[in-house]
């Protein structure tokens, strides 16, 4: 259990005095990757090859063949250097004679070479909330799903905006230069000279976390975004959700009005349960090591910390003993997030039962996509019930999480929160779950004989009290051969 407690401890929410956490969910921050077209300026010590040629011209040795002989270099190599010097406007040529320009004389006197080049600086990232500019490689790109929260962009990228951020762009450019060149000359100065235009723009998102806290004694709420910068994210959140709700924030509220209307009084956790959990969080935050005493305090009947604790239980299921898993859920699609699906698919030699409402939209398709192979192997069994009254996750008989989706009104609109109560006493768990095991004829054995096939249907169906006991394939159609 120590591994489980450690995993829970690593994902603990921030503590807020006189408040308790009621919900945490992903929120996506908009960024824009850009490239800019610009001029750059590079000042180097003039290379020895150029300097020698200029010195020979200065003492009136101007014939290219004579210079080649004095320097002991092939004419072909000298010619390439001359072309470069003409491009730099250090010299001009006339009938195989080299003539030094005023710019060449200055370079010889200063022993410095100034080069202006047009180039693109790519992979700059603009935080579209704060306006900060940084290198793209610092952030992990994330792809929001339809149900996720996304802050909308509040910055506009223009040439004027880029020029106002000249210093930071120049700093990024300088930091990423490779100091090497063909003549191994020393670079004295390298900088952004002038911003010309925006080369490209590409919107992407970075995943963050939104924490929703409720006051212990009132209906006041606090909203905190984990990676916030000077409360800029928090201010944007309020702006985009409080009065006029932006499209990316619609999923902050419960979209099923009928569901929300019937779940305002669905509380499950007592004040005593919540207070114990609050005390446990303080102890976990204050402990550097997971002691036996701390484990004993963890395995106590109490309020679930949050859904992250539930994910940790799934991912650390090998750390404790259990016969099998039973999940009873009114809205199974919402419960089955990627972390839980991944953990369930990684479980072997244990049977999993999913009890769900078949009226939930597209639920059978989701079951097929996530657990199709396990269902065929009888490692996952699914049962339909249109009147689910009890929602729970049970690692039978040692851990039971009973939970409800409860409606709260925030900004005069409903949100749903996940409220859970966790039990570790196996006797209590058996008393609560054995009746359901009997009603659904649940068995955790993986070696049950397959039921007889009826006709040419891939799956057999037995109905008792409106409950389907084996999987009915999504959109299955019997084929007549």
**295 located within any domain:** no
One domain for residues 130 and 87:
no
Does 260 map to a domain? no
pLDDT of residue 184: 52
Write down the pLDDT at residue 109.
Answer: 86
Domain boundary among 66, 87, 110: 110
**Would you say residue 159 has pLDDT above 60?**
yes
Distance CA 44, CA 189 (A): 7
* Within-domain flag for 105: yes
Residue 237 has pLDDT above 80, yes or no: yes
Same domain, 99 and 171: no
Q: Is the pLDDT of residue 197 over 90?
A: yes
Q: What value, to the nearest 5°, has the Cα angle with vertex 375 and ends 371 and 380?
A: 85
HEC readout, the chain: CHHHHHHHHHCCCCCCCCEEEEEEEEEEEEEEEEEEEEEEEEEEECCHHHHHHHHHHHCCCCEHHHHHHHHCCCHHHHHHHHHHHHHCCCEEEECCEEEECHHHHHHHHHCEEEEEEEEEEEEEEEECCCCCEEEHHHCCCECCCCCCEECCCCCCCCHHHHHHCHHHHHHHHHHCCCCCCCCCCCEEEEEEEEEEEEEEEEEEEEEEEEEEEEECCCCCEEEEECCCCCCHHHHHHHHHHCCCCCHHHHHHCCCCHHHHHCCCCCCCCCHHHHHHHHHHHHHHHCCCCCCHHHHHHHCCCEECCCHHHHHHHHHCHHHCCCCEEEEEECCHHHHCCHHHHHHHHHCCCCEEEEEECCCCCCHHHHHHHHHHHHHHCCCEEEEECCCCCCCEEEEECCEEEEEEEEEEEECCEEEEEEEEEEECCHHHHHHHHHHHHHHCCCCCCCCCCCCCCCCCCCCCCCEECCEECCCCCCCCCCCCC
Residue 476 is predicted with a pLDDT of 33
* Alpha-carbon separation of residue 240 from 144, 236, 237, 244, 479 (angstroms): 17, 6, 5, 7, 52
Residue 424 lies in a domain: yes
Residues above pLDDT 70, as percent of the chain: 90
Same domain, 91 and 149: no
Residues 84 and 143 in one domain: no
Which residues lie across from 303 on neighbouring strands? 421
Mean pLDDT of the chain: 87
- Predicted local distance difference test score (pLDDT) of residue 187: 65
> Average pLDDT of 115-133?
93
Residues 315 and 201 in one domain: no
> pTM for this one?
0.76
Structure confidence at residue 139 (pLDDT):
81
Residue 327, judged by CB atoms within 10 A of its CB (0-12, 13-18, 19+), counts as buried
The β-bridge partners of 356 are 329, 384
**Which of 6-10, 84-88, 167-171, 246-250 is predicted with the least confidence, judged by mean pLDDT?**
84-88
> Is it the case that residue 467 has pLDDT exceeding 60?
no
Tens of pLDDT, residue by residue over 56-103, are 989 888 998 898 898 988 888 888 889 988 988 889 998 889 999 998
Q: How confident is the model at residue 186 (pLDDT cuts 50, 70, 90)?
A: low
Task: Tell me: do 32 and 53 sit in the same domain.
Answer: no
Calculate mean pLDDT across residues 365-379.
Answer: 93
Q: How many whole angstroms separate alpha carbon 320 and alpha carbon 3?
A: 10
Please return the burial class of 400, using the count of CB atoms within 10 Å of its CB with bins 0-12, 13-18 and 19+: buried
Least confident of 14-18, 288-292, 459-463: 459-463
Mean pLDDT of the 459-473 span:
37
pLDDT band at 228 (very low <50, low <70, confident <90, very high): very high
Neighbours of 79 (CB within 10 A): 13
Main-chain phi, psi angles of 358, to 5 degrees: -65, -15
Same domain flag for 33 and 99:
no
Host domain of residue 397: 304-468
| Rounded average pLDDT over 128-136 | 93
Residue 383 in this model has a pLDDT that exceeds 70:
yes
Q: What is the mean pLDDT of residues 197-219?
A: 94
**How confident is the model at residue 460, as a pLDDT?**
35
* 31-55: average pLDDT: 89
| Non-local CB neighbours of 65 within 8 Å, separated by 6+ positions | 75, 96
What pLDDT score does 182 carry?
45
pLDDT, position 178: 60
311 and 412, same domain (yes or no):
yes
Final residue in a domain of this structure, among 67, 92, 110: 110
pLDDT at position 472 over 70: no
Min mean pLDDT across 266-270, 297-301, 431-435 is at: 266-270
Tens of pLDDT, residue by residue over 388-421, are 888 999 999 999 999 999 999 999 999 999 999 9
Does residue 14 lie in a domain region?
Answer: no
The pLDDT tens digits for 273-310 are: 999 999 999 999 988 899 999 999 999 999 999 999 99
Q: If you average pLDDT over residues 358-365, what whole number do you get?
A: 91
Of the ranges 49-53, 238-242, 311-315, 327-331, which one carries the lowest mean pLDDT score?
49-53
CATH of the domain at 308: 3.30.870.10
Q: According to the model, what pLDDT value does residue 112 have?
A: 79
- 438 C-beta neighbours (distance < 10 Å), count: 9
Closest CA to 374 of 400, 353, 397: 353
Residue range 443-456, pLDDT digits in tens: 998 865 444 433 33
- For residue 51, is pLDDT > 80? yes
Q: Report yes or no on 478 lying in a domain.
A: no
Question: What percent of the chain has pLDDT above 90?
Answer: 60
Structure confidence by residue, pLDDT tens digits, 320-340: 999 999 999 999 999 999 999
Q: Is residue 475 part of a domain?
A: no
CA 272 – CA 33 distance, rounded (Å): 49
Res 392: pLDDT: 96
Tally of structural domains, the chain:
3
> Tokens for 27?
């929120």
User: Are 464 and 322 in a shared domain?
Assistant: yes
| Cis amide prior to 397 (ω within 30 degrees) | yes
- Taking the C-alpha atoms of residue 378 and residue 392, their distance in angstroms, rounded to an integer, is 21
CATH number of the CATH domain containing 75: 1.10.10.10
Residue 123 and residue 106 share a domain: no
Of the candidates 134, 126, 120, 125, the one whose C-alpha atom is nearest the C-alpha of residue 197 is 120
Q: Which residue, 60, 88, 110, sits at the end of a domain?
A: 110
Distances (CA, A) of 114 to 79, 121, 207, 248: 21, 20, 44, 49
Residue 304 phi, psi dihedral angles, 5° rounding: -65, 140
Answer yes or no: do 106 and 166 share one domain: no
Residue 23's DSSP bridge partners are 212
The answer to whether residues 325 and 422 belong to one domain is yes
- Is residue 20 domain-resident? no
């Amino acid at each position: 259990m120590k591994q489980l407690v450690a995993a829970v401890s690593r994902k603990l929410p921030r503590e807020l005095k006189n408040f308790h956490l009621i919900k945490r969910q992903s929120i996506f921050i908009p960024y824009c990757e850009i490239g800019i077209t610009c001029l750059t300026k590079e000042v180097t010590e003039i290379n020895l090859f150029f300097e020698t040629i200029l010195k020979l011209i200065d003492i009136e040795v101007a014939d290219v063949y004579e210079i080649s002989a004095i320097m002991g270099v092939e004419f072909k190599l000298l010619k390439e250097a001359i072309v470069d010097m003409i491009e730099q406007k250090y010299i001009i040529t006339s009938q195989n004679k080299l003539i030094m320009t005023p710019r060449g004389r200055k370079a010889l006197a200063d022993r410095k070479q100034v080069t202006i080049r047009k180039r693109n600086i790519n992979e700059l990232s603009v935080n579209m909330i704060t306006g900060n500019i940084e290198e793209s490689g610092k952030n992990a790109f994330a792809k929001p799903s339809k149900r996720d929260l996304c802050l909308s962009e509040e910055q506009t990228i223009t040439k004027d905006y880029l020029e106002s951020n000249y210093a930071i762009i120049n700093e990024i450019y300088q930091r990423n230069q490779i100091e090497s060149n063909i003549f191994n000359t020393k670079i004295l100065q390298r900088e952004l000279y002038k911003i010309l235009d925006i080369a490209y723009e590409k919107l992407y998102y970075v995943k963050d976390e939104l924490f929703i806290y409720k006051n212990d004694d009132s209906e006041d709420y606090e909203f905190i975004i984990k990676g916030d910068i000077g409360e800029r994210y928090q201010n944007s959140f309020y702006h985009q959700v409080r009065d006029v709700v932006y499209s990316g924030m619609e999923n902050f509220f419960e979209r099923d009005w009928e569901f929300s209307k019937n779940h305002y009084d669905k509380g499950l956790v007592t004040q005593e349960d919540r207070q114990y959990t609050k005390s446990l969080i303080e102890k976990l935050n204050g402990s550097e090591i997971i002691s036996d005493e701390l484990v004993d305090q963890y395995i106590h009947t109490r309020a679930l910390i949050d859904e992250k604790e539930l994910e940790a239980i799934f991912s650390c299921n090998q750390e404790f003993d259990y016969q099998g898993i039973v999940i009873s859920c009114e809205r199974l699609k919402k419960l089955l997030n990627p972390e839980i699906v991944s953990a369930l698919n990684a479980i072997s030699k244990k049977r999993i039962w999913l009890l769900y409402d078949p009226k939930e939209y597209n639920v059978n398709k989701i079951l097929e996509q996530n657990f199709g192979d396990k269902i065929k192997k009888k490692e996952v069994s699914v049962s339909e019930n249109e009147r689910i009254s009890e929602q729970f996750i049970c690692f039978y008989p040692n851990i039971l999480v009973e939970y409800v989706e409860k409606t709260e009104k925030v900004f005069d609109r409903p949100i749903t929160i996940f409220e859970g109560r966790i039990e570790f006493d196996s006797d209590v768990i058996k008393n609560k779950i054995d009746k359901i095991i009997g009603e659904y004829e649940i068995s955790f054995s993986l070696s049950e004989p397959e039921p007889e096939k009826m006709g040419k249907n891939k799956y057999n169906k037995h109905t008792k009290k409106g409950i389907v006991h084996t999987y009915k394939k999504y959109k299955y159609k019997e084929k007549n051969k």
